[in-house]
Structure 1
Amino acid sequence: MRSVVYAQTGGPEVLQLTEEAVPEPGPGELRVRVVRSGVNPTDWKSRVGREPGTPVDPSQIPGQDGAGVVEAVGAGVPASWVGLDVWLFEAAWKRRWGTTSEQTLVRQTRVATLPDGASYDVGAALGIPFITAHRCLTVAEEGPLRLGPGTLQGRTVLVSGGAGAVGNAAIQLGRWSDATIIATVSSAEKAQLAAAAGADHVVDYRRQDVRDEVRKIAPHGVDVVVEVNPQANAGLDGGLLAPGAVVATYADDGGGAEVAVPVRTSMVRNVRWQFVLVYTLPAAAKARAVDDLGAALLDGAIGVGERHGLPLHHFPLDRAAEAHAAVERGAVGKVLITP
């Protein structure tokens, strides 16, 4: 089989296309023929590592997310899995076997069935972004723990970076759950994408005063903030929160190691500042997210492509380095690799 691997950390150039034996699944594992591999920022950040040039032994196949067909199962996994369309998440977390390969091995706990009618494109786009967004929307003290029609009715969600992968996922899931969605973006093009995803209101922070615009829409404050850049936005967020609100931060696009939280405002309003990393989520939260994403797929409530506000960029396996570089440059939409 063909796989893309890296044997040392560094830039996209360390990715090499190789031939290796098709692996046999061990206990609790499935072998999946990968039809699509999704590329996330964590993929290139892991590839770069803390110090470029560090040897990686054994060589690593990158790619946390993907979609494909189960070919074989190991001991303890029901044979009924064989032949099913599935989507994968966290395939390469503390493992060699990522999704940038014609076949890969994945733990049963990191596989979910792909409903009839759901494309491999959407399956490969779910994983890290959608589970992250689900967590951001379900960490408020009073819940809900699950998403679905009506679960966020009467609540206002502010999505920072509404054209990004997690931002898009938060908008789609929030819309499905009947929240009022306000998204911030940096251009007219991204505003169109956020609106296509289902945002009720879109604010261009380069041209509009976010504080004034949000207060017009939600005079009593927002209930949830899905935050991509806390270093830049913590002060702004603090002034827009309703009592009991939560700021769920899943990234540090500002690039700083620390963030200044407005203490007095947060204290008076009993606000929660929640940090989110999908890989270390509680198992129960992750399981709820996977179940809810399956329900959303069955409802036809989430999707990919221009009409869902998430343009697709396809690359063949031998151009995996270009796919990584595109994500590293901040490509708008979802980058997918086709083994």
Structure 2
Amino acid sequence: MRAITYARSGDPSVLELGERPVAEPGDAEVRVRVVVSGVNPTDWKSRTGSYGGGPEEATVPNHDGAGVIDAVGAGVDGLSVGDRVWITLAGDGRPASGTAQEFTVVPAGRVFPLPANADFELGASTGIPAITAHRALTVGDGGATRLRPGALSGRTILVAGGAGAVGNAAIQLARWAGATVISTVSRESKATLATAAGAHHVVEYTKADAADAIRGIAPDGVDLVVEVAAGANAELDLAVLRPRGTISIYANDGGAPFELDVRRNMGLNTRYQFVLLYTVGWDRITAAAEDINHAIEDEAYRVGEQAGLPLHRYQLEDTAAAHAAVENNAVGKVLITVAAT
């Protein structure tokens, strides 16, 4: 089969197209014929060695994907050959199992049914962004731990960076769950995307009156912030957070130092929750996947320009260019077509 691998850390040029044998699934594993592979920032950061160390063996990149189950190992329940599925964290601890290849073998717990009304591009776009957003939305003090229509009714959610993949997912899921959604963006073109995703209000955080604009919408403060740039947005977040509000941090884009103002945070009784899927626990990931699938079935979770997340499509042999696009902050979702449907 055709597969992309890298044997050393580096820029996108270390990614090479070659042939690998098709592996057989073991106990509690399934083999998936990959149709579309999704690229996330964690994929290129792993490739560059940003998390420390280099690959100890040839590594297939990309954690997210969608396709069709091709073979099932012993002890697998609820999944069958021919099922359409989406995958997440495919390569976590399994260097040979990334989705940038024609077939991948993964533990059955990393595979979820793809709803009948969803195509493979939606499936490949779902995993890490949507589950991260789900976790960020369900950690508020006294708030919902699962998402469904009405679960966030009466809550006001601020989504920083609403034009990004996680921000887009957070907007869609929060709106589906009944929240009032405010999003911050850097410029007007991104405001259009956040609005398409479903944000009720969009504020340009680069403007001096951003905090006043948010307070004008939520005079008592926002209940929860989904934060992509913890350091850069620390002051704004505290200026608009209500007492006992929550700030969910899943990234620190821009790399600005993140410093806590102890007195102000104590006064607000602020709750901070850091979010990283690698250690969040598979029970939470599975619960999130169930909720996200319900949102997809309700046609409340979508991708594409009409949903505020433009798609950038590449072929498997162009995986290096796909990684470069994500590394260079392409606005939207980068997908790799691996096989014809």
Q: Shorter-chain TM-score: what band?
A: over 0.9
Residue of structure 2 equivalent to 1:228: 228
**What secondary structure, in the 3-state scheme, does the structure 2 residue paired with 1:38 have?**
strand
1:337 aligns with 2:336: yes
Separation in 1, partners of 2:276, 2:159: 17
Separation in 1, partners of 2:51, 2:195: 40
**What secondary structure, in the 3-state scheme, does the structure 2 residue paired with 1:310 have?**
coil
In the superposition, the TM-score normalised over structure 1's length comes to 0.96
Residue of structure 2 equivalent to 1:142: 142
Separation in 1, partners of 2:327, 2:54: 21
Contact 2:45 2:51 in 1 (8 A): no
Separation in 1, partners of 2:207, 2:318: 37
Change (3 A) 1:262 1:23: same
Comparing 317-326 with 101-110, greater Cα deviation is found at 101-110
Point out where structure 2 has 5 or more consecutive residues left out of the alignment: none
1:206 aligns with 2:206: yes
Contact 1:180 1:200 in 2 (8 A): yes
Give the 5 Å matches for 1:35-54: 35-50=35-50
Contact 2:194 2:308 in 1 (8 A): yes
Residue 150 of structure 2 aligns with an amino acid whose one-letter code is: G
Residue of structure 2 equivalent to 1:302: 301
Residue of structure 2 equivalent to 1:267: 266
Q: Percent identity?
A: 54
Residue of structure 1 equivalent to 2:288: 289
Q: How many residues align?
A: 337
**What secondary structure, in the 3-state scheme, does the structure 2 residue paired with 1:232 have?**
coil
Residue of structure 1 equivalent to 2:151: 151
**By how many angstroms is 1:51 displaced?**
8.8
Residue 231 of structure 1 aligns with an amino acid whose one-letter code is: G
**What secondary structure, in the 3-state scheme, does the structure 2 residue paired with 1:153 have?**
coil
**By how many angstroms is 1:227 displaced?**
0.4
- Please give the per-residue CA displacement for 1:84-132, whole angstroms capped at 9, x wherever unaligned: 0000000011112100001111111100000112110110001000000
**What secondary structure, in the 3-state scheme, does the structure 2 residue paired with 1:335 have?**
strand
Residue of structure 2 equivalent to 1:57: 56
**What secondary structure, in the 3-state scheme, does the structure 2 residue paired with 1:56 have?**
coil
Separation in 2, partners of 1:246, 1:58: 41
Give the 5 Å matches for 1:1-339: 1-50=1-50, 56-78=55-77, 80-96=79-95, 97-207=97-207, 209-256=209-256, 258-339=257-338
**By how many angstroms is 1:55 displaced?**
5.5
**By how many angstroms is 1:79 displaced?**
8.1
Contact 1:197 1:308 in 2 (8 A): yes
**By how many angstroms is 1:22 displaced?**
1.0
Contact 1:151 1:178 in 2 (8 A): yes
Across the aligned residues of Structure 1 and Structure 2, the Cα RMSD in angstroms comes to 1.4
- Please give the per-residue CA displacement for 1:280-314, whole angstroms capped at 9, x wherever unaligned: 11333222211101111111110000110000000
Point out where structure 1 has 5 or more consecutive residues left out of the alignment: none
Structure 1 ranges of 4+ moved more than 3 A: none
